């Protein structure tokens, strides 16, 4: 059997596109739409200025010229993406609507050309929403939707994209994993 190197390269570039934008979807949801994090209630930012401050703090590297109005629109995008990380069958209709709303379409940019999934003339919010939504659609569309997941620890709704080999990740991070372990240990001792 011969292995065609072009296909290998192409596949890993598609994977990295999906990974990058799925992580961006995670960042949007956790920054703008989470109610509980690491065992504590958090108040999602409630107005454009507050949303913008939190977004700028979360984005590395910092994004281009974002406004408070953009941040408000991104909060809507985050609210639309969040249910895709919930347990149960993926909310395909909602994602399809989001892709239409933000005019997701494959297109080539720059020189050398790079593949993206927003119109060339799209504004930043539409471009981000279209690219992030497309990445989640790719994950779901190849039967990997259960990798879009919420933290299983008590009092934490943060979401993540599970890239472990056997899709076994349960927590948003180490602090929740440790808290869950400690509470399971206490429960065993009580039992």
- What residues line the site for Zn ion (CB under 5 A)? 151, 153, 156, 158, 172, 176
Q: How far is the CB of 92 from Zn ion (least distance, A)?
A: 26
Q: How far is the CB of 176 from Zn ion (least distance, A)?
A: 3
Residue with Cβ nearer Zn ion (86 or 138):
86
Residue with Cβ nearer Zn ion (37 or 122):
37
Q: How far is the CB of 164 from Zn ion (least distance, A)?
A: 16
Query: Can you give the three-state secondary structure of the chain, one letter per residue?
Result: CCCCHHHHHHHHHHHHHHHHHHHHHHHHHHHHCCCEECCEECCCCCCHHHHHHHHHHHCCCCCCCCCHHHHHHHHHHHHHHHHHHCCCCCCHHHHHHHHHHCCEEEEEECCCCEEEEECCCCCHHHHHHHHHHHHHHHHHHCCCHHHEEECCCCCCCCEEECCCCCCCCCCCCHHHHHHHHHHHHHHHHHC
Residue with Cβ nearer Zn ion (134 or 150):
150
Residue with Cβ nearer Zn ion (28 or 129):
28
Q: How far is the CB of 174 from Zn ion (least distance, A)?
A: 10
Q: How far is the CB of 158 from Zn ion (least distance, A)?
A: 5
Residue with Cβ nearer Zn ion (140 or 153):
153
């Amino acid at each position: 059997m011969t292995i065609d190197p072009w296909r290998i390269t192409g596949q890993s570039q598609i994977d990295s596109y999906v990974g990058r934008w799925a992580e961006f979807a995670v960042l949007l949801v956790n920054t703008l739409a989470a109610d509980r994090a690491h065992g504590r209630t958090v108040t999602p930012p409630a107005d454009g200025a507050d949303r913008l401050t939190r977004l700028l703090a979360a984005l590395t590297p910092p994004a281009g010229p974002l406004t408070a109005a953009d941040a408000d629109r991104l909060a809507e995008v985050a609210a639309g993406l969040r249910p895709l990380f919930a347990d149960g069958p993926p909310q395909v209709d909602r994602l399809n609507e989001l892709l239409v709303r933000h005019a997701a379409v494959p297109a080539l940019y720059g020189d050398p050309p790079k593949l993206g999934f927003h119109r060339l003339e799209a504004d930043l919010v539409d471009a981000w929403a279209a690219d992030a939504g497309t990445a989640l659609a790719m994950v779901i569309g190849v039967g990997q939707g259960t990798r879009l997941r919420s933290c299983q620890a008590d009092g934490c709704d943060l979401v993540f994209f599970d890239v472990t080999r056997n899709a076994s990740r349960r927590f948003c991070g180490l602090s929740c994993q440790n808290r869950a372990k400690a509470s399971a240990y206490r429960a065993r001792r009580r039992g």
